[in-house]
Amino acid sequence: MNAILKVDDLTLEVRWSARRGTLGLTVDRGGELIVYAPVGCKQGVIEAFVREKRLWVYTKLAEKEALRQPVATKEYVSGEGFPYLGRSYRLTLVARQDMPLKLDHGRFKLLRNEAANGRKHFIRWYSTHARLWLGDRVQRFARRVGVRPAGVEVRDLGHRWGSCGTRRVLNLHWATILLPASVAEYVVVHELVHLQEPHHTPAFWRRVERTLPDFAERKRWLAERGAAFVVL
């Protein structure tokens, strides 16, 4: 038997099951909220559970909304803006320079005859700088978290910002370097803590908070605005 429950500004479907012993909460593909509850669980208990999970719910809803938003692709022409560590830098096409792309005096400069390969050159530039910047942050925060990763790899991870492999190697998306520094650091800490806590349990989030007391704000920013930084 199912029922509709409204908790503050959230509307949820409650599904009872005799096989469940604990409460569970999911956000469906379309953004529908579903609570799985043991038979006989009181409404007040369910409402308290949902309120406890409210930050997680808002984050998941924001993530799904961001993924549905159309993201404009970049044009490799003078005047187009490209992000780097949260700031936007204008592109200038130039006739000659010693490398295809560089950041010089507050502007990206791309060889005009390489504009057709602009995306490739930007990804290469971002990846190179991400290895240096993120590698430094991994070392710095690893000491604070109390872990020793086996290494750091920067590559295209699709819709994921990071992952932690079985070899204790941190995998980070090259586009992480486009985010504001504080948000990129949250991605780093998130993956480092996974070396201690594989799953997103309360213990996991407590460890993240010990390293970044304002992690919730950084996490929310990433969920709401991060998707716009992946497409070039």
Three-class SS state of 87: strand
Quote the pLDDT of residue 78. Answer: 97
Which has the higher per-residue pLDDT, 113 or 18?
113
Residues 176/184, Cβ–Cβ less than 8 Å:
yes
Domain ranges of the chain: 2-68, 118-229
Cα separation, 184 vs 212, in Å, equals: 12
The pLDDT mean for the chain works out to 89
pLDDT at 156 over 80: yes
Residue 21 pLDDT: 86
Distance, CA of 196 to CA of 201 (rounded, Å): 11
Matching residue, tokens 């909220």 = 33
pLDDT of residue 126: 97
pLDDT at 66 over 80: no
Q: How far apart are the C-alpha atoms of 135 and 33, rounded to whole Å?
A: 38
CA 99/CA 86 separation, integer angstroms: 24
CATH of 118-229, one of 3.30.2010.10, 3.30.390.50, 3.30.365.10, 3.40.190.10: 3.30.2010.10
Per-position b or e across 78-90, b if 16+ CB within 10 A of its CB: eebebbbbeeebe
Closest CA to 131 of 179, 169, 173, 86: 173
Q: What is the pTM of this model?
A: 0.72
| Structure tokens that stand for 75 in this block | 């044009």
Evaluate if residue 71 carries a pLDDT over 70: no
Rounded to an integer, the average pLDDT of 46-63 is 83
Predicted confidence band of residue 215 (pLDDT cuts 50, 70, 90): very high
**In this structure, are residues 149 and 195 in contact, taking their beta carbons and an 8 Å threshold?**
yes
